[in-house]
Amino acid sequence: MKKILVIHGPNLNLLGEREPGVYGTDTFESINNEIIEHAMKYEFHCDVYQSNHEGEITSFTLLEKIMTALYLMQALIHTIAMLSETPSPQ
């Protein structure tokens, strides 16, 4: 079975609870369930990881998980701003 690793960044565990007028009412759990169900529909196994500590996200353990994903998984999805932001030139 093909594999996908989904990595969620800080505070996404509060979706549906924190400022639903801004972020919506879907909960973190319901979003993950939808991701997993959708993946299964296409015969993918989906691992989901979330941390509220950016240091943990960039820790050796997670980096090792990402490196494993690059070799063993067919997709890596992240919602971590710090991994996608480009610093502006000074």
Residue 41 to residues 35, 37, 46, 55, 76, Cα–Cα distance (Å): 10, 6, 11, 34, 18
71 vs 15: CA distance, rounded Å: 31
pLDDT class of 77 with cuts at 50, 70, 90: low
Average pLDDT over the chain reads 78
Per DSSP, the three-state class of 49 is strand
Taking the model in full, what pTM does it have? 0.67
What is the predicted pLDDT for the residue at 67?
72
Phi, psi angle pair for 7, to nearest 5°: -115, 120
* C-beta of residue 44 within 8 angstroms of C-beta of residue 1: yes
pLDDT class of 40 with cuts at 50, 70, 90: very high
